[in-house]
Structures are given as structure tokens and as C-alpha cells.
Copies of this chain bind each other. A is one copy, B any other.
Amino acid sequence: MKLKQRLFTPGPTPLPEEVRLAQARQIIHHRGEEFARVFQEVRQGLKYVFQTGEEVLLLTASGTGAMEAVVANLFSSGDRVLVVRGGKFGERWGEIAAVFGLEVISLDIEWESAVNPDLIRKKLAKDSKIRAVFTQLVETSTGVVYDIEAVAKIVKETEAVLIVDAISGLGAQPLPTDRWGVDVVVGGSQKALMLPPGLAFVSLSPKAWRLGENSALPRYYWDFKKAKKAQEKNQTPYTPAVSLICALRESLKLLKEEGWENVLARHAKLAQATRKAVLALGLKVFSKVPSNVATAIEVPSGIDPKKLRKIMRDEYGVDVAGGQAQLAGKIIRIAHLGWMDASDMIVVLSSLEMSLSKLGYPVKLGKGLAAAEEILGE
């Protein structure tokens, strides 16, 4: 039998049948009444998952496109910004800001660690010219989750805005946008929202909209004002990815049926079970503050992570992620993100046990699974 394929990467994530079939529908026109009805539902659903009363802008682009759009809409060349860099995606914020001529102050942290909110407080207190703090909710490359609630409390007291890349974190970690007072949240389709990649989302607080009033950077396709104006008429300024938007309606329906609190709790439980299993196998979790997006595991010395992933993939059809940038060859990342349940985690953990054993690592078969079941069976 051809091996069944199972994806445990932190995006793209597996698609529920409802989402897959919605894409297979015949196309509808983006200026017609049916699309307007779909889009109205989608707009409401996005507000629900972003936990905001503000309009959530939808862009036909990858998450990185939305990150660029945020920079292009809110700033001017020469603006000073603080960028938390604790992994590949923190670095990306810095790269985009630099490309657009912003003056970037980097707050570099060890890649296994979360940012200490006090460091942000000190930077902002010392320098009133900092217009924004850029950070992640979850730094996907390290599996670390940041304390955005604490960071938001600090930034709220200043003139600066807080900009959070929640591309991987949205749905896996709590992020009540309005309640915490997060000014800008960026999301992507191919994560907990259980969609293919191709759509990105941005919510903006009134404070963020005000900052944008003075922005002098060039933008056209990315123009947030045009997007907001069009969305209020259940349209988009340019032809959007219609089939993905129809699929988004289905995934938002599924998430509403489950209930957002339950979605978050499910991610937390699957992540906890994964960590317990990893520890039970004598392995080490790389992240000091591990997220519910993906568990980053330090590969024990003597084991080649590339070989480990290859065995998991070739023998068991299980696809996990490796390390990126400086973490290449050091970690593997098991995602528990999106359309995932207890049995999915049993599968990936089992393939991890069997593959480690094949590579000669002294693993007691079933020990990780037993630890996971303690949590999953609750």
C-alpha cells in the first residue's frame, strides 16, 4: 500500500474535508451578491477569531506579504522602531523594516527564550521616539511563545503601537486582541485556521490607524484604507483569492461550532501531551517557554535530525519540520496545529519512538505514548 501521508509541520497544516470541498466549487464572481454574502460571513468570523470589534483586513498574499503591508501602511522612512529578535521571524520583521528605511533597534534574545517584557519597558522609557514594538506571538522557528499580555500592558502606556505577528500563534495561543490592547495583529490562513496558504489577515486598533495617517511609504496593492473601505461594502479592492475565501467561510464555521475557547484548549492539551511524551523519552524540549503551536525537540547527540525526519517520513508517512537558520541540524519541530486531535499526536509520537529506536537511540517503546495518553485521555 502506498504510505498514507500525514503533515505535522507548523504550516501548512492538514485541511478538513469541508475546506477541501469548498475549494472545488465552481468559481463565483467577486463583485456578485453571492460573494458579498460569503464575504460578510467571513468578516464576522475573522472578528470572532481575532477577538476584536475592528475590521480584520483580508489580503491575497502569504503572511510575509501582510507583514510588509503593515510596515508600508504605518511608517515613514527614518521612523525608529523596536524589533524583538528571538528567531527567524523576528529577524524578518527587522529585515522588512530596514528595507523600508526604518531605523531598527534590535532587541536580540537567545533563541530558546521568550522576550522579557521588562526589557521592552526599559527601551521605551529611555527613548520616546520609538514608534512601534514589533514582535511575535509565537516565534515559529523556535517554538517559543511570548507574553504578549504583559508586553501590551507596557506598550499601551506609551505613544508606541504594538505589532504582533500571530501568523502561527492565532488559534493556538490566547490573543484577545481588544482586551489586551494589541494594536496590530497579523494572521495567516495555513495554520490553526485549517486553510491552504494564500490569505493573510491584519487587524488594526484606532491607535494604529492614527499612526498610519502620517505614513509616507509607497503602497498600492497593500493599501489598508482602500481595503477597509471596500470591505465595509463586502468587497475587496482587487480580485481576491475567491476559492480560498469560500474555503475560509467553511473553516470559520467549523471553528465557531467548536468554540474559540475549545480550539485554544485543544491546542494546549495536544501540546502538553507532546511535551510530556518527549520528556518521558528522555529528550529535551528546546524552548524555555514552549508554545502550543509546535514542540521543538533537541535532537540528542549522535542522532542526525535529517535522518530522523527521513525515517519518519519514508517509513511512517509522517512529516515533521526541521530547524531553520542557526537551528538547522539541531532540532526537529512537531506541530500540533490546526485540524489535529489526540489520535494524530499518538501517530506522530509513535513514529518518533520507532524512528529513534531504528537509529540506535535507547528508547523504551511505548513510554512516550503512555505519557501522552495520561494527558490525552483526561
Check if A61 is an interface residue, CB within 8 A of chain B: yes
**Contacting residues, chain B, for A63 (C-beta < 8 A):** 238-239
Give the nearest-CB partner of A21 in chain B: B24
Interface of A is mostly: loop
Report the minimal beta-carbon distance from A184 to chain B, rounded to whole angstroms: 17
Q: Does A344 contact B (CB under 8 A)?
A: no
A86 contacts partner chain B, Cβ-Cβ < 8 Å: no
Q: A60-B65, A218-B101, A221-B61 are in contact. Are A30 and B197 (CB under 8 A)?
A: yes
CA distance A297 to B297 in the complex (A): 64
A97 to chain B, nearest CB (A): 9
Report if A90 contacts B (CB, 8 A): no
Q: Which stretch in A10-18, A149-157, A282-290, A363-371 binds the other chain? A: A10-18
Contact present for A32 and B319 (CB under 8 Å): yes
List A79-116 residues whose CB lies under 8 Å from chain B.
95-96, 99-101
A306 at the binding interface (Cβ < 8 Å): no
B220 close to A27 (CB less than 8 A): no
Q: Does residue A357 face the partner (Cβ distance < 8 Å to B)?
A: no
Name the distance in Å between A193's Cβ and chain B's nearest Cβ: 12
Q: How far is the CA of A73 from the CA of B100 in the complex (A)?
A: 13
Contacts of A197 in B (CB 8 A): 30, 60, 239-242
With beta carbons under 8 angstroms apart, the residue of B9, B28, B60, B219 that contacts A99 is: B219
Q: Which residues of B contact A99 (CB under 8 A)?
A: 218-220
Per-position contact with B for A152-169: 1 when CB-CB < 8 Å, else 0? 000000000000000000
Please, how many angstroms separate the alpha-carbon atoms of A198 and B101 in the complex?
Answer: 29
User: For the complex formed by this chain, how many copies does it contain in all?
Assistant: 2
A47 touches B (CB below 8 Å): no
Among A58-79, those with CB < 8 Å from B are 60-65, 67-68, 72
Is A243 positioned at the interface, with any CB of B under 8 Å from its CB? yes
Q: Which residues of B contact A72 (CB under 8 A)?
A: 218
B62 and A240 contacting across the interface, CB-CB below 8 Å: yes
Q: Which residues of chain A from 1 to 52 have a CB within 8 Å of any chain B CB?
A: 5, 7, 9, 11-15, 20-21, 23-30, 32
Total count of chain A residues near the partner, CB < 8 A: 52
Q: How far is the CA of A256 from the CA of B62 in the complex (A)?
A: 29
Chain B nearest CB: distance from A307 CB in Å? 16
Q: Is the CB of A349 closer than 8 A to any CB of chain B?
A: no
The CA of A212 and the CA of B63, in the complex, are separated in Å by: 25
Expressed in whole angstroms, the minimum distance between the Cβ of A111 and any Cβ of chain B is: 20
A193-215 vs B: 1/0 string, CB under 8 Å?
00011100000000000000000
Among B15, B61, B95, B243, which residue has its beta carbon within 8 angstroms of that of A65?
B61
Minimum CB–CB distance from A339 to chain B (whole Å) comes to 10
Q: Is the CB of B242 within 8 A of A196?
A: yes
Q: Residues of B contacting A218 with CB < 8 Å?
A: 72, 99-101, 217-218
- The residues of B that contact A62 with a CB separation of less than 8 Å are 60, 221, 238-241
Report the minimum CB–CB distance from A251 to chain B (whole Å).
Answer: 12
Write the chain B residue with the least CB distance to A24.
B24
Q: Which of A11, A68, A220 counts the most B-chain CB atoms under 10 A from its CB?
A: A220
Residues of chain A touching chain B, judged by Cβ–Cβ distance below 8 Å, are 5, 7, 9, 11-15, 20-21, 23-30, 32, 60-65, 67-68, 72, 95-96, 99-101, 188, 190, 196-198, 217-222, 238-244, 319
5 CB < 8 A contacts A-B: A12-B27, A23-B24, A63-B238, A68-B221, A243-B244
